[in-house]
Structure 1
Amino acid sequence: MLSFNHQSYPYANTRHSTYGKRGMVATSQPLAAQAGLEILKKGGNAIDAAIATAACLTVVEPTSNGIGGDAFALVWTKGELHGLNASGKAPNNISIDAIKEAGYEEIPTHGWIPVTVPGVPGAWAELSKKFGKQPLEEVLEPAIKYAEEGYPVSPTLGKYWNYAYKSYKTKLTDKVFKPWFDTFAPNNRAPKVGEIWSSKGHAETLRSIGKTNSKSFYQGELAEKIVQYAKETGGYLTKEDLAEFQVEWVKPINVNYRGYDVWEIPPNGQGIIALQALNILKGFEFPEKESVDTYHKQIEAIKLAFADAEKYVTDEGHMKVSSEQLLSDAYGEKRRNLIGEEALLPEAGDPSLSGTVYLAAADGEGNMISYIQSNYMGFGSGVVIPDTGIALQNRGHNFSMDPEHVNALAGGKRTYHTIIPGFMTKGDQPVGPFGVMGGFMQPQGHVQVVMNTVDFGLNPQSALDAPRWQWMKEKMIEVENRFPHHLAQGLAEKGHHIKIALEPNSFGRGQIIWRDPETGVLVGGTESRTDGSVAAW
């Protein structure tokens, strides 16, 4: 097992890591974590537990994800790591010209234009079919009960639900958004903390997905409802778009960082940013965590990796350079050599010359899964299919309107995607799943969690609790308000433009489960910046 300090990180809350043997689920909402554990105790495996937890999260944390979102997963089973890409494509009939004809110079954040084909239902069905032990219908039952019978709104959830409602009330005034208010603000307000909220339509949708192994969503009654509402309100999704959707099994990509293999899903996801940054950082020595030099080099490496991603990363079939080129040792050294004593403005190199939820689950049989799903920007597009609870994502917002850009909008194309699950192995043994959700914070969170673990020996809870930083743009760096001020001052002296954030919400929400290869003991950490929970058995 990783050698780490079992004590809490000094700047953190007094929370400790959680230990278990027969099963563990870590996620951002206690009710969802307990639902996953319930499935484990009924004879399901880690994959079943992850699906149950993910489905519950669409109900008990709708501010961050939904049935109409996308999903990615890394699954360890029988000595092998499998990658799942369940991100949907843009509608076939959408284009840059069509958007401009509609009066837009940029892709909006809300409405039908940024909506892409949802991948979440397909992810659940495919994971269940390939690796699950229990029928999907049974695995979705806890989520169905919460949607049908209701649940009390938790503190962090209530806070961000209210933020969304206040924003949507003034911005989303078109009739297309009325079902959002009918579903998520039935009393003309967001539900209050502790108040019971339910969604009968959401329950029926989950029941239909379970009974048909998601076929109803792509080719049946749910697909018909989605397409009908699109026709009525000017949407681009068609029956053919939904019917053509297929989940893709992909070969995970990795770099070796100080003897540990760190794994991510290949593009169109941004996990390659975390790997590229680690590939740069592995050439440095970091004798201590709390030093200006350590943070400076981390930030500079992330900036360089983001610059390359912005230029090169999109749907893999449209990329002009390969993941292998971006992650080569030679290119890593070339980028590493750019890092000096002063903060730089990041620029892409040339490798050819050299609102999301995250969960981790494990069982006593050795199965482990790193799973992430999202609607993007909280509730997503603001488009909800009437009486179904299906809130559609707005992933298409990340497309470029520049026809020459590698990530240019095109029908039938997948966009650059922010959500990324992580996994770590050592030799031929799994260490375990990890992730930090939250837009473009995600690869930055992955780098910080991996280094906290591998370089500095922090246990899972402390690795998550440690104060975080986030590169925003150019030389702009945001740090948490509990980030050591003398280190923030030192970074400022190196040319970084430091902003101290008052709220923790922009620094991501993480989960970790590590497994001891000799004893099978599981140790987990969960996010202290939200209503995070580890359910262990």
Structure 2
Amino acid sequence: MDFLHNPYPSQRNTVLAKNGMVATSQPLAAEAGLQILRKGGNAIDAAIATAAALTVLEPTSNGIGGDAFALVWTKGKLHGLNASGPAPSSISIDAVKELGHNEMPKLGLIPVTVPGAPSAWAELSNKFGKLPLIEVLEPAIQYAEEGYPVSPTLGKYWKSAYNAYKKNCTTEEFQGWFDTFAPEGRAPEIGEVWKSPGHAETLRQIGLTGGETFYRGDIADKIAEFSQAHGGFLQKEDLANYQPEWVDPIKVNYRGYDVWEIPPNGQGIAALMALNMLKDDVFHERDSLETYHKQIEAMKLAFVDTKKYVSDPKTMTYSSEALLSEKFAKQRRAVIGDMALTPEPGTPPKGGTVYLATADGEGNMVSFIQSNYMGFGSGVVIPGTGIGLQNRGHDFSLDPEHENALAPGKKTFHTIIPGFLTKGSEPVGPFGVMGGYMQPQGHMQVVMNTVDFHLNPQAALDAPRWQWMEGKKVLVEHHFPLHLAQALARKGHEIQITLDGGAFGRGQIIWRDPKTGVLCGGTESRTDGHVAAF
């Protein structure tokens, strides 16, 4: 296997296995996916099981009421699924402004968009799964019904969310969140057992009906009635009319490897644009001033272009092909100089999240991501159901001239992105780094760690990370080489060292050796990550 180099001290070793593998940020969720593999399910079944379990086991980052995206390798082809939901059909810029808002709020029912995650589970199960959906959801149902002890990273973020919601979510529509996630009048402590019977019953009904009840049945009625009772825009028709979309993944070729992402409305294109700018450079060392400087400069240019031009593909001025064109890449590459710049968008030519990776012994591999956005999402939980609604609509602009302007039935610019790597006609495997706007930055760093510097999955994830924030401001981890941080500062980068590793994303990787079929997995040392395999 090519990717077994490990120059960085690791908290854990890369995991090797033959028959199946699940990598995600919560150990019990990874084991839930492995349980399904052992029962005869494939990588797609395992991904669904893990994703559903994560709504219970890591509710600080995702939930039943969130969105999802997937890249699925099966039978020699990569498939893309966009299960992000649109804005309600009754919402508009004027309607939001009439409620006294000059920008989309973060909390409450106004930023709620149609949840897509349950539709992703049902669609993946119908198209590629081997086991019945209800059987695949059983581990998640069991954890919701019987409870589980809260893990360390989960407990930290749960307490932080509780303190924020206690301060900011004081009206009636938020009571369901406190009843569900703070039943003792506080966040559960690390090691304390938490359960959610309503969550269990919702998952059971989704499994028994193939998701129909969530969009066109009893659960849909509960969501719509609660929204209407508390001044929300989401209606039953929005749920009934929703379907996830199968899409053609987009790619760039980077030094002989194809790097794949879901096309817009997701931000994965930013990682591809940055790699496209750097693919003709030669990087001899990972920990060098030139490497970091050019990575940061390329990423910031890709980001400002993405933020300006990416939205619902039906309304975008420039296509993905234009943004990934050689002409535009060369134009943007020419902007990169010896000193840090304050990025401005170019002109293309016309033309809170969880991540998981799974693989099985048959060659199927899945890159899957889902989120409620900003931790628990909107702060609204439909009483008695465990359904925390996402606040993805916060990313819409109330400027009608903006590319991502709010409109009824429109999908917003989306942060969550799964990644996949191939070489020729062979899959290398799924990868992802969850965490808001860190995600494409993490994708680029992980791909370069793998392709340019030949690091194994665990080393590629453990290596120090940086995150561009805005202007010339760049965060670096506390174990980032100090002499390089100082050298970057001399080039005009405004470097800030931070102690919170959570700011730099949480990643998972599974690579497959095409000759032997051996799976090689790494998981995030910045959280409670785990690779389950057999």
Please tell me the TM-score bracket, short chain as reference: over 0.9
> Following the alignment from structure 2 to structure 1, what is the Cα–Cα distance between the partners of residues 402 and 440?
22
Matched, 1:309 2:303: no
> Following the alignment from structure 1 to structure 2, what is the Cα–Cα distance between the partners of residues 292 and 106?
39
Matched, 1:4 2:1: no
Equivalence for 1:131: 128
Equivalence for 1:443: 440
Matched, 1:367 2:364: yes
> Following the alignment from structure 1 to structure 2, what is the Cα–Cα distance between the partners of residues 2 and 137?
39
Equivalence for 2:84: 87
> Following the alignment from structure 2 to structure 1, what is the Cα–Cα distance between the partners of residues 131 and 242?
24
Equivalence for 1:52: 49
Specify which of 197, 204, 208 is matched with residue 207 of structure 1.
Answer: 204
Q: Which amino acid aligns with 2:48?
A: I
Equivalence for 1:383: 380
2:102 is paired with a residue whose SS is coil
> Following the alignment from structure 2 to structure 1, what is the Cα–Cα distance between the partners of residues 138 and 382?
22
CA deviation vs aligned residue, 1:201-256 (integer Å, no higher than 9, x gap): 00000000000000000000000000111111111111110001011000000000
CA deviation vs aligned residue, 1:43-81 (integer Å, no higher than 9, x gap): 000000000000000000000000000000000000000
> Following the alignment from structure 1 to structure 2, what is the Cα–Cα distance between the partners of residues 165 and 14?
30
State the 4+ residue runs in structure 1 displaced beyond 2 angstroms. 1-4
* 1:177–1:384 Cα contact (<8 Å) kept: yes
| Deviation of 1:3 (Å) | 4.0
Matched, 1:245 2:246: no
1:177 is paired with a residue whose SS is helix
Equivalence for 2:113: 116
> Following the alignment from structure 1 to structure 2, what is the Cα–Cα distance between the partners of residues 509 and 286?
25
| Deviation of 1:374 (Å) | 0.2
* 1:283–1:336 Cα contact (<8 Å) kept: no
Specify which of 432, 436, 441 is matched with residue 429 of structure 2.
Answer: 432
RMSD between aligned residues: 0.8
Matched, 1:175 2:176: no
* 2:44–2:358 Cα contact (<8 Å) kept: yes
Counterparts of 1:141-152 in structure 2 under 5 Å? 141-152=138-149
Matched, 1:289 2:286: yes
> Following the alignment from structure 1 to structure 2, what is the Cα–Cα distance between the partners of residues 529 and 416?
27
Specify which of 254, 258, 268 is matched with residue 251 of structure 2.
Answer: 254
Q: Which amino acid aligns with 1:286?
A: F
Q: Which amino acid aligns with 2:251?
A: N
| Deviation of 1:354 (Å) | 9.0
2:429 is paired with a residue whose SS is strand
Specify which of 301, 324, 327 is matched with residue 327 of structure 1.
Answer: 324
CA deviation vs aligned residue, 1:447-504 (integer Å, no higher than 9, x gap): 0000000000110000000010000000000001111110000000000000111211
* 2:433–2:442 Cα contact (<8 Å) kept: yes
CA deviation vs aligned residue, 1:146-203 (integer Å, no higher than 9, x gap): 0000000000000100000011111110111000000000001000011000000000
Equivalence for 2:463: 466
Equivalence for 1:510: 507
Equivalence for 2:25: 28
1:288 is paired with a residue whose SS is coil
CA 529–157 in structure 1, closer or farther in 2 if over 3 Å, else same: same
* 1:515–1:522 Cα contact (<8 Å) kept: yes
| Deviation of 1:355 (Å) | 1.7
Matched, 1:275 2:272: yes
> Following the alignment from structure 2 to structure 1, what is the Cα–Cα distance between the partners of residues 128 and 528?
29
* 1:283–1:333 Cα contact (<8 Å) kept: no
Q: Which amino acid aligns with 1:408?
A: A
Equivalence for 1:421: 418
Equivalence for 1:224: 221
> Following the alignment from structure 2 to structure 1, what is the Cα–Cα distance between the partners of residues 473 and 257?
31
| Deviation of 1:88 (Å) | 0.0
> Following the alignment from structure 1 to structure 2, what is the Cα–Cα distance between the partners of residues 191 and 353?
53
CA deviation vs aligned residue, 1:127-148 (integer Å, no higher than 9, x gap): 0000000000000000000000
> Following the alignment from structure 1 to structure 2, what is the Cα–Cα distance between the partners of residues 202 and 248?
26
> Following the alignment from structure 1 to structure 2, what is the Cα–Cα distance between the partners of residues 15 and 68?
33
2:266 is paired with a residue whose SS is coil
Count of aligned pairs between the two proteins: 534
> Following the alignment from structure 2 to structure 1, what is the Cα–Cα distance between the partners of residues 328 and 156?
44
1:59 is paired with a residue whose SS is helix
2:369 is paired with a residue whose SS is strand
Q: Which amino acid aligns with 2:247?
A: V
* 2:125–2:132 Cα contact (<8 Å) kept: yes
* 1:17–1:524 Cα contact (<8 Å) kept: yes
Q: Which amino acid aligns with 1:486?
A: H
> Following the alignment from structure 1 to structure 2, what is the Cα–Cα distance between the partners of residues 330 and 166?
49
> Following the alignment from structure 1 to structure 2, what is the Cα–Cα distance between the partners of residues 269 and 142?
30
Q: Which amino acid aligns with 1:214?
A: G
Equivalence for 1:455: 452
> Following the alignment from structure 2 to structure 1, what is the Cα–Cα distance between the partners of residues 390 and 27?
24
* 1:227–1:238 Cα contact (<8 Å) kept: yes
| Deviation of 1:329 (Å) | 1.3
> Following the alignment from structure 2 to structure 1, what is the Cα–Cα distance between the partners of residues 287 and 3?
19
> Following the alignment from structure 1 to structure 2, what is the Cα–Cα distance between the partners of residues 455 and 160?
34
* 1:270–1:417 Cα contact (<8 Å) kept: yes
* 1:18–1:525 Cα contact (<8 Å) kept: yes
Q: Which amino acid aligns with 1:211?
A: L
- Stretches of structure 1 lacking an aligned partner (at least 5 in a row): none
2:314 is paired with a residue whose SS is helix
Equivalence for 2:516: 519
CA deviation vs aligned residue, 1:339-374 (integer Å, no higher than 9, x gap): 110001111111126920000000000000000000
Matched, 1:186 2:175: no
> Following the alignment from structure 1 to structure 2, what is the Cα–Cα distance between the partners of residues 172 and 20?
46
* 1:425–1:431 Cα contact (<8 Å) kept: yes
CA 44–353 in structure 1, closer or farther in 2 if over 3 Å, else same: closer
2:222 is paired with a residue whose SS is helix
Equivalence for 1:96: 93
- Stretches of structure 2 lacking an aligned partner (at least 5 in a row): none
> Following the alignment from structure 2 to structure 1, what is the Cα–Cα distance between the partners of residues 531 and 499?
26
2:362 is paired with a residue whose SS is coil
> Following the alignment from structure 1 to structure 2, what is the Cα–Cα distance between the partners of residues 385 and 353?
45
> Following the alignment from structure 2 to structure 1, what is the Cα–Cα distance between the partners of residues 447 and 47?
22
CA deviation vs aligned residue, 1:242-293 (integer Å, no higher than 9, x gap): 0010110000000000000000000000000000000001021101111111
CA deviation vs aligned residue, 1:376-420 (integer Å, no higher than 9, x gap): 000000010000000000000000111001100001000000000
